[in-house]
Structure 1
Amino acid sequence: MSAVARRGGDLVVETLAALGATTVFGEPGQHALGLFDALSRSSLQYAGFRTELDAAFAADGFARVTGRPAPLMLSTGPGALQSLAALQEAAAASVPIVVVASQIPSAGLGARRRGFLHELRDQRALVAQVVKHAVQVQSQSQISSALQEAWEVALSAPHGPVWVEVPQDVLLATTTLPRVEPVPPSPRVLAPRPELVAEAVRLLDGADRPAIIAGGGVVRSGAEAALLELAERLRAPVVTTFGAKGAFPWGHPLSLQSWLEDWHTTECLQDADVLLVVGSGLGELSSNYHSLRPRGRVIQIEADLGKLESNHAALGVHADAQLTLEALAGAVAAHEVDGVAEKRVAEVLALVADRLAGQDLGLEQQVLDAVRAALPDDAPSFWDMTILAYWAWSAWDARTSGSMQSAQGAGGLGYGFPAALGAAVSRAGSGPVLAVSGDGGAMYGVADLATARQLGLDVTWLIVDDGGYGILREYMTGAFGAAYATELARPDFVALAEAFDVPARRTTPQTLQQDLAEALATPGPTVVVLPALLRMFAPTHPGSGA
């Protein structure tokens, strides 16, 4: 029997393995079959999803948990386009995904329009508006170099999704090129400029009331230890953004936690004579909807050049968070331990607690506390755009860095469940993963209950069923006095899950902790449905009336 011919698709798969990939996410399609044929003969694990959107969200979840690029294989046209909402989230949240997409045959590329199935006018140019880097391969000899470059770009700060597309004929043609040998990727090292570090040290040494905003860049660069050391040397209060949950110990005396949508927190940050912002662009959610107005000097450490000083004038340091924080921690003078900063932090947190206590939000706090109590400390959780997630952004104690992830980068629905499935792929045998959705967002991912069952993924999906798009209902009622287009017919989620052979149960706020803990302890996928009408806490930024 003759040996199977190696083709262009084999060069793709061999290169991914040589770069260190272990798992590939995707959804097959006509032009991409050469990729999947080669994948079938490789040692790479394949996690196939029912839609390209969910496959891309799953790749995102895998990359966030592992810190490694997640390969994603897609087909041309509709397949490529369906991934874009998830890739927008990955770009906004700096998540490394390496997309390998097919293209129509080379004969139809360029100005010629030959009417191939799935044909787009310029697929690469369209996708380039979303991802960090996009290239089109023209020949087999370009495949390995293009993928090596893509892998390194995805891993260079700021991390992000990249796109490599290969025409169908290039994937299918036999090749005489040798097998791809491993070449360690070399992502760019983004070190801080020494004169900027020296100036930052001078400002921090002279500060009487320093404060720190720690963003997602702290988690992505592994800068948690350096952040803790610097904060303790400066005696600086630290607030973590919604993308940096767990980057600083929640119960530390200097921890302002994550109450960014609270004016007491905003005022504390504004009062700093030096505000150090690290790994955050101070966008809408991190600045209390742009109400933050620092009165002192700002130092901003940011790997994304486009975000540097985009919202506030600062001493801008274009650099990796870990390298810069380590340099600062090793150079600043230790401030006197006088308890002033710790007292200020305690006062702010007490004011936050008092505000919430006056809003009749016992149910919401009870539900979030039950979820926290049920979930093991080291278990990752992935949250969709739903009211309980909005609560978790501010109130969730993420006990390990990066263990709480959400779609707050771009804010699209449907993230929580497929991202949790992707994380579970990387954690086989290492414990459960939690997904949290509302009933509206849950409908985006129900098809991949089949994937969860087929792959035996250890994910518990908590669906909070309030009969519609709950957060939009609140927004519209608040803005216009009534809501429209927010009420939804939905299935019996318990019966639906059971139709996929996934164990499911209905719970109540009183039994949620026990039911969720039991589901999390059950191997394989499970679903817990909580019928509940939750409310958001009232905002406290200027003009809110709070």
Structure 2
Amino acid sequence: MTHDHDLVLRPTTAQTEAALNPPPGRTGGDLVVETLAGLGATTVFGLPGQHALGMFDALRRSKLQYVGLRVENNAGFAADAYGRITGEAAPLLLSTGPGALMSLAALQEAAAASAPVLAIGSQVPAAGLGGGRHGYLHELRDQRASFRDVVKSVHTVRTASQIPSAVAAAWESALTAPHGPVWVEIPQDVLLAETSLPVVTAMDATPEDLPPRPELTALAAHLLANAERPAIIAGGGVVRADASGKLLALAERIGAPVVTTFGGKGAFPWEHPLSLQSWLEDRHTTEFLEDADVLLVVGSGLGELSSNYHTFAPRGRIVQIEADLGKLESNHPALGIHADARLALSALLETVPARHDDTAAERVRTVLDKVRARIEGQDLTLERQVLAAVREALPDDAPSFWDMTILAYWAWSAFDARRPNTMHSAQGAGGLGYGFPAALGAAAADPTRPVLAVSGDGGAMYSIAELATARQYGLNVTWLIVDDGGYGILREYMTDAFGEATGTELARPDFVALAGSFGVPAVTTTRESLAADLANSLAAPGPSVVVLPAVLKMFAPTHL
């Protein structure tokens, strides 16, 4: 009798011959790129540096597509977007010390948004590892420690033979729910040293599933089926798990209104009769959710933005499905189900009976009418026109990437994403400079669709250098820059809090002329011509810039 664990895959004669006679001139860097290719990677992002040259030299001997950005943080944002769009781990190649540290803000955003980024950085020569001070260029006392608080897992290589296993383990970690960034570091001398190891072929790094416990989904199904006023909050975990179809089926089966968080935009159809849309910064929505006797929270930790700045005080029972164990019941007591959103929703659909509620759609309309009346009662015509123009110009399936700017704050609540996994912003960690480099990563992932980036003039200055990247690779990204002369949202915050703003007013360039100097077509637009100018730019191949001089305002908060 043969058991599975007795089976050994024996190499073929050709495989043995190839292993015994690897091509000459290979280095540790080749083992890195061979492993990435064996895992299924096709595109890598990054920026070369002295200690990392072994990896970059190996790229010319591989079939991997390389997209090089001008700043490591922007390369990280591009990899983040590539991971979100494709659902694959996005390799990010970096150098030691300053180059590595420049990526930290991007990796923090990837961690907050559960974007699978596989960052591979170089290190000082292996003899210098261990926390000493050997005087190497770029040396840190403990480079790993700088990343450990940001990424999911840290992997250090000391010999060439460790490279394939370390990279595969990191790949699996990045793609295990919840997705996230990981860090691998390899000494310079290991990357440069010639190797006689066989060429790395296919690697198996399949992430483990995270199924729900059946007794918990049975109880959750019972609670939902017997609820009088069930409601659902759908977060970014629904999008990351590709579970939007399951969510729709469950909501319709039990007649539960659904609100999507800012990270979950597009997870539920905007115009569906059960859609509360995304007005989480509105007290009417908050009160509706507080009144639910059973609230199903899927793929959200109910953090600051999703809880209307921690004013949300639910009175009913919460069922929380969350792949990130640290977020499970972190803000509110719940029936916590540690699971991938798609698997958990599938389990609920198998067990929960249909529940009919003729009042649900009417209650949703009542809430949205109150929200609409509140917004219409404020002097916000310009803001609504600008957002409507963007929606009119953007094809339904085209991804958009929004920096931390007032128009993005509007979009979180008021923009109809129309498709899952098409609207992305930096609201996870809240750093500036995300929009444009992230859009470049999305364009590299899918060159067949135009991509929109939205920034303010302050955030745009973080990534102006990437106009060169966009031009070099001919990436189909249209960049909308709303120029209000400074950090607009901070100007509002400080004026409201202190009566005047400090440090928010900025000298800035002529963005149209600056784009032109990079060979990127650009135009200044108005609120009246914005939709047409954006549509024309999005339809044209290659990068483009549209500048809208405008001072936008936020709608009045209702969490106070």
Letter in 2 for 1:241: T
Q: CA deviation at 1:184?
A: 3.2
Identify which of 10, 13, 36 aligns with 2:56: 36
Q: Aligned equivalents of 2:170 and 2:368: distance in 1?
A: 44
Measured against aligned partners, the alpha-carbon deviations of 1:12-45 in whole angstroms (never above 9, x if no partner) come to 0000000000000000000000000001110000
Aligned partner of residue 407 in structure 2, secondary structure: helix
Give the stretch that moved more between structures: 246-255 or 176-185. Answer: 176-185
- 1:115-514 aligned at under 5 Å gives the runs 115-338=135-358, 340-428=359-447, 430-514=448-532
Distance of 2:100 and 2:449 partners within structure 1: 33
> Are the aligned partners of 2:123 and 2:185 in contact in 1 as well (CA < 8 Å)?
yes
Q: Measure the CA separation in 2 of the matches of 1:454 and 1:262.
A: 44
Structure 2 stretches lacking a partner, 5+ long: 1-21
For 1:268 and 1:233, how far apart are their aligned partners in 2? 20
Q: Report whether the alignment pairs 1:80 with 2:106.
A: no
1:107 positional shift: 1.4
What is the Cα deviation at residue 269 of structure 1? 0.3
Shift of 1:201: 1.1
- Could you tell me the TM-score, scaled by structure 1's length? 0.98
Percent identity (aligned): 71
Which amino acid in 1 is paired with 2:505? E
Q: Which amino acid aligns with 1:530?
A: L
CA deviation vs aligned residue, 1:267-287 (integer Å, no higher than 9, x gap): 000000000000000000101
Letter in 2 for 1:357: E
Partner of 1:521: 539
CA distance in 1, matches of 2:436, 2:67: 15
Q: Deviations over 1:411-450 (max 9, x none)?
A: 000000000000000112x121000000000000000100
Q: Which amino acid aligns with 2:365?
A: A
Shift of 1:355: 0.1
Of 127, 141, 157 in structure 2, the residue corresponding to residue 107 of structure 1 is: 127
2:88–2:116 contact (8 Å) kept in structure 1: yes
Structure 2 contact 151–182 (Cα < 8 Å) conserved: yes
Verify the 8 A CA contact 2:38 2:203 in the aligned structure 1. yes
Q: How far is 1:4 from its partner?
A: 4.8
RMSD: 0.9
Aligned equivalents of 1:509, 1:529: Cα separation in 2: 11
Shift of 1:337: 4.3
SS in 2 for 1:285: coil
Give the C-alpha shift of residue 109 in structure 1: 1.2
AA matched with 2:107: L
Instruction: Provide the C-alpha distance between the structure 2 equivalents of 1:441 and 1:346, rounded to a whole number of angstroms.
Output: 36
Matching residue of 2:4: none
For residues 507 and 485 of structure 2, the distance between their equivalents in structure 1, rounded to whole angstroms, comes to 7
Distance 2:401 2:66 in 1: 22
Give 2:301's aligned amino acid. Answer: G
Give a deviation string over 1:485-516, Cα, whole Å, max 9, x none.
Answer: 00000000000000000000000001100111
* C-alpha distance in 2 between matches for 1:136 and 1:216: 30
CA distance, structure 2, for counterparts of residue 230 and residue 216 of structure 1: 17
Q: 1:96 aligns with which of 116, 125, 135?
A: 116
1:458 corresponds to which letter in structure 2?
A: N
Distance 1:47 1:212 in 2: 40
State the AA in 2 paired with 1:387: I
- Provide the secondary structure at the position in 2 that maps to 1:286: coil
Superposition deviation, residue 202 in structure 1: 1.4
Once residues 357 and 332 of structure 2 are traced to their aligned partners in structure 1, the CA distance between those partners, rounded to angstroms, is 30
Contact 2:131/2:142, CA 8 A, preserved across alignment: no
SS in 2 for 1:497: helix
For 1:114 and 1:219, how far apart are their aligned partners in 2? 46
Structure 1: runs of 5 or more not aligned: none
Provide, for residues 188-245 of structure 1, a one-character-per-residue CA deviation record: whole Å limited to 9, x for no partner. Answer: 1100001101111111111000000000000010111110111011100000000111
Q: State whether residues 132 and 141 of structure 2, in contact with CA within 8 Å, keep that contact through their aligned partners in structure 1.
A: no
Instruction: Give the residue type in structure 1 aligned to 2:292.
Output: A
Q: Distance in 2 between matches of 1:350 and 1:137?
A: 58
CA apart distance, 1:469: 0.2
Q: Aligned pair 1:537/2:550, yes or no? A: no
Measured in 2, the distance between the counterparts of 1:510 and 1:197 equals 51
Mapped to 2, the partners of 1:336 and 1:279 lie a distance apart of 25
Deviation at 1:112?
A: 2.9
